[in-house]
Structure 1
Amino acid sequence: MAHSAGLNRETGRLLTDFDHVVQSIGVIFTTGLGDAILREWFGFPGMSLLGKLGTATTITRFFRAIALALTIRQLNGLPAEPRFRLVKITPVSLGRDGNLEVILEGIYFPRGHLGDFTPESGVASKLRLQSAGGILTVSGA
């Protein structure tokens, strides 16, 4: 039985459980902070860092922006995506062309959107965040 469901933004097909969380986090990372009307705390504050030189300071700011986007509380008191709690960010690659790839590891709460933060055991809770050509994409890892 699915704990949560939605539609795939590209195909219109049904998405359930962690696949739906992956899409939801993708929406967060492709929305600039403050771009969603009436949801001023929703979005990714690191958009301005895309395309900058990959210095230690820039990468640290980018990682901090990732953590902020996934933990900042909305007006209802829940994080933007309450079904996923970020635990670890692991850099995979940073190219001279500005392309970046990181793995986000976290805890999956299938009923987090309902306020039940009981973790799901045995479920993969890793995401792959990639930036190529200034475009962010999120996929299951």
Structure 2
Amino acid sequence: MAGIDRRTGAIIDDLSSSLQAAVFILSTRISSVVLLREFGGGVIELLGRSMTPSLFAAWQQLIATAIDLWEPRLSVRRVVPTGSVDEIRTGKAGLLIEADFRPRGHLGDYTVERVVGFTLSFGGGIRAVAS
């Protein structure tokens, strides 16, 4: 299955489409989609607060839950921060998300094709880069 890039309109493969969906989910505020008020990641609402271990744990859980809930082609295994302590303090940190890629998950077939790792970086907007 192929998707369409939301910025260029070009045809993209299934993995790129699911990563694009994950970025869209995490960058959308809850209740900002008019006809689907419960849609969103809940992550944006926590940005700007003092980072404590409990808040960071909640943030990791929100990311994993939002992707599991709204993107059936991905099943999150773990979410870990990337970057040094100084980068995290200055807000330049990123996240490494490891997930099972299930290309037919939206059809109810949860067979795992492969495990993917992708990085979310927050400097200059949220971007996903698969590894």
Deviation, structure 1 residue 35: 1.2
Identity %: 29
The one of 4, 25, 29 equivalent to 2:22 is: 25
Q: Does 1:16 align with 2:16?
A: no
Runs of 5+ consecutive residues of structure 1 not aligned to the other structure: 72-78
Residues in 2 aligned to 1:52 and 1:132: alpha-carbon distance in whole angstroms = 17
Structure 1 equivalent of residue 119 of structure 2: 128
Q: How many residues of Structure 1 are paired with residues of Structure 2 in the alignment?
A: 128
Q: Does 1:50 align with 2:47?
A: yes
Structure 2 equivalent of residue 102 of structure 1: 95
Structure 2 equivalent of residue 112 of structure 1: 105
Residues in 2 aligned to 1:86 and 1:127: alpha-carbon distance in whole angstroms = 11
The one of 66, 90, 101 equivalent to 1:69 is: 66
Matched position secondary structure for 1:64: helix
User: CA offsets per residue over residues 34-53 of structure 1, 9 Å max, x none?
Assistant: 21122222211121211222
Question: Runs of at least 4 residues of structure 1 off by over 6 A?
Answer: none
The one of 70, 73, 97 equivalent to 1:83 is: 73
Q: Does 1:7 align with 2:7?
A: no
Q: TM-score with structure 2 length normalisation?
A: 0.87
Which of the pair has the greater relative contact order for Cα pairs under 8 Å at 6+ separation?
1
Greater per-residue helix proportion? 2
RMSD (Å) for aligned C-alpha atoms? 1.7
User: Residues 42 and 139 (structure 1 numbering): CA distance in 2 closer, same or farther, change over 3 Å?
Assistant: farther
Residues in 2 aligned to 1:68 and 1:12: alpha-carbon distance in whole angstroms = 28
Residues in 1 aligned to 2:108 and 2:29: alpha-carbon distance in whole angstroms = 26
Query: Is the contact between residue 89 and residue 102 of structure 1 (CA under 8 Å) also seen in structure 2?
Result: yes
Letter in 1 for 2:116: S
Residues in 2 aligned to 1:47 and 1:30: alpha-carbon distance in whole angstroms = 7
